[in-house]
Amino acid sequence: MRIRLVQPPLVQPRYRQLTLPVVGAELAAQGLEVEVCDENIEELDLSDVELVGVTCHVYNAPRAFEIARLFRRRGIPVICGGTFPTVAPQLVAPHVDSVVVGELEGQAARIAADARARRLEPVYRASERPSLDRTIKPDFTLLKNERYLRFNFPLELSRGCRFACRFCTARALFGAPRTRSLSDIERDLAQHDHGLVEIVDVNFLSDAELFRRVAPVLGGARVPGWFGQTTVADLAADRALPEILAASRCRAVFIGLETIARDGLREVNKSWSRPEVFLEVARRLREAGVMVQAGVIVGLDSDEPHVFDRMADLLERARVQTVSITYLHYYPGTAPFEELRAAGRLLTTDCRDYDGNHLVVRPRRVSVGELQRELERFLRRVYGARSIAGRAMHAGMPRHPTQLLHHLALNLSLRTYYRELLAPRDDDTSRRYMTRPPGHPLEQLVADGSTRLLELLWR
């Protein structure tokens, strides 16, 4: 039986993901003939096939439903999995033949057998979380790897997180933290072809002991370095971590700062994260030569005009490499979403707007216009030439001077990204991810060229 796995357009076009290689390998191990179509790099293949599998988040769910409709009207069954089907299967089920809730491991054999017998169940839901002690090798040969930006090579160490931030879907997807075996991690790392290794874990320090065993493996691998995300609390727990990270050739760590307002942190179940600790952690990391990338949530109930100036002050004091903003949003079908809808605070319920790039929750303490004006002023400040240069001036930069190129490349890229994001549009087709316009060849040339230069310098 031949199955086509389809990835609808993502917020990050031409950014290589781990989902298709893992899902494809799982299904191929059950004897299915697997092919892949990733709309981020190619047109949708509508040719005949016996079964279609679609993965989706909330913002690209409408496109996933459209893809399903195109195949189902020709009698081709469609099965759908991913974040949105796991969080809100009842909203996905009407559009497809079958929904996979949670992880595929442990369910692939039953799905493959039912597909061959042409009796797919409406919902597949594992009775328990799969063990990650032995995992299948991701099959990157399924992808047209040369069409993605050269930026990353995805690698997984663990799943889940010991924290339960209110906006995060990790608990629904993965439950309690589980780790993979070191031998499987080394096996997957050996497939590295290009780009920085991206540890895709929600928190690569969920199991600090595992990371201490992985760190020398990363440091000794023939790769240009790696990056990943973790928490202020986990980084602050061990003062030796900055040097361990530097020795493993970690280039950058992403930390979800979210806000500097204590009531805002309580709002998202993150009161354990303290801005003053973030400052100290950022100092130790940058002095070791590891860049800090910060995430900020916009639209919290605590947001007031002055919070953006205070946030910019703290981020510049911390000399962060980059700042990413995400508008507060909760998945349709979840309790926080329903609470906001009942309170009349949702500006839209269109799934396509729930990508983190659009304001969907009416602010409590400021008007919509005031919030957007303050955010625009904040972004113009942190991505202004003075701030970009000032954040590069710290003791860690001379220790690893090639980081300066990385710092400048990322900041100029994000400066352009946020200018385009804030610019008014007459046509919102690409914004809504129902289609993805083809990328400009010059854009890919510049992105790949700068990455290749860093690869050569860092090796």
**Mean pLDDT, range 131-155, rounded to an integer:** 95
Cβ atoms of 352 and 8 within 8 Å: the answer is: no
Q: How far apart are CA 403 and CA 273, in angstroms?
A: 27
- Residue 333, CB-side half-sphere exposure with 13 Å CA sphere: 18
Q: How far apart are CA 331 and CA 337, in angstroms?
A: 6
Which of 411, 412, 414, 409 has its CA nearest to residue 453? 409
**Mean pLDDT, range 423-452, rounded to an integer:** 62
pLDDT for the residue 435 = 57
Using DSSP bridges, classify how beta strands 51-55 and 2-7 pair: parallel, antiparallel or unpaired.
parallel
pLDDT for the residue 12 = 86
The 3-state DSSP class for residue 361 equals strand
Helix (H) or strand (E) holding 409: helix 403-422
Question: Residue 439 pLDDT more than 90?
Answer: no
pLDDT digits (tens, 9 = 90+) for 379-428: 999 999 999 999 999 988 888 888 898 999 899 989 988 888 777 655 45
How does residue 171 score in pLDDT terms, banded at 50, 70 and 90?
confident
Share of the chain above pLDDT 90, in %: 80
DSSP secondary structure code for residue 346 in this structure: B
Question: Residue 445 pLDDT more than 80?
Answer: no
Question: Quick one: angle between helices 208-220 and 182-189, nearest 10?
Answer: 30
430/135: higher pLDDT: 135
pLDDT for the residue 176 = 86
pLDDT digits (tens, 9 = 90+) for 313-348: 999 999 999 999 999 999 998 999 999 999 999 999
Across the beta sheet with 152-155, the strand order is: 152-155, 196-199, 226-230, 250-258, 291-298, 322-327
pLDDT for the residue 108 = 96
Q: Which amino acid is at 403?
A: Q
Cite the residue boundaries of each domain of the chain with CATH code 3.80.30.20: 149-458
Question: Residue 441 pLDDT more than 80?
Answer: no
Question: Residue 433 pLDDT more than 80?
Answer: no
Beta carbons within 8 Å of 229's beta carbon, 6+ residues apart: 199, 201, 202, 203, 204, 253, 254, 255, 256
pLDDT for the residue 429 = 44
Does the CA dihedral 84-89-92-95 come out positive or negative? positive
Does the CA dihedral 447-452-455-458 come out positive or negative? negative
- Supply the mean pLDDT for the chain: 92
DSSP secondary structure code for residue 432 in this structure: T
Q: How far apart are CA 162 and CA 171, in angstroms?
A: 9
Cβ atoms of 408 and 415 within 8 Å: the answer is: no
Lowest-confidence region among 44-48, 102-106, 147-151, 455-459: 455-459
Lowest-confidence region among 110-114, 137-141, 413-417: 413-417
pLDDT for the residue 455 = 83
How does residue 101 score in pLDDT terms, banded at 50, 70 and 90?
very high
pLDDT digits (tens, 9 = 90+) for 201-225: 999 999 999 999 999 999 999 999 9
pLDDT for the residue 82 = 96
pLDDT for the residue 53 = 98
Question: Residue 459 pLDDT more than 80?
Answer: no
Radius of gyration of the chain (CA): 22
pLDDT for the residue 454 = 80
pLDDT for the residue 430 = 47
Share of the chain above pLDDT 70, in %: 95
Question: Residue 299 pLDDT more than 90?
Answer: yes
pLDDT for the residue 301 = 93
Cite the residue boundaries of each domain of the chain with CATH code 3.40.50.280: 2-122
Using DSSP bridges, classify how beta strands 158-159 and 178-179 pair: parallel, antiparallel or unpaired.
antiparallel
Long-range CB pairs of 271-279, under 8 A, 24+ apart, other chains included: 272/163, 272/233, 273/231, 273/232, 273/233, 274/232, 275/314, 277/232, 277/233, 277/236, 278/232, 278/314, 278/318, 279/314, 279/317, 279/318
How does residue 233 score in pLDDT terms, banded at 50, 70 and 90?
very high
**2-122, superfamily in CATH?**
Cobalamin-binding domain (3.40.50.280)
Which CATH architecture does the domain made up of 149-458 adopt?
Answer: Alpha-Beta Horseshoe (3.80)
Query: Per the structure block, which two tokens stand in for 286?
Result: 């940058």
Q: Sort residue 56 into left (φ over 0), alpha (ψ -120 to 50) or beta.
A: beta
Question: Residue 63 pLDDT more than 60?
Answer: yes
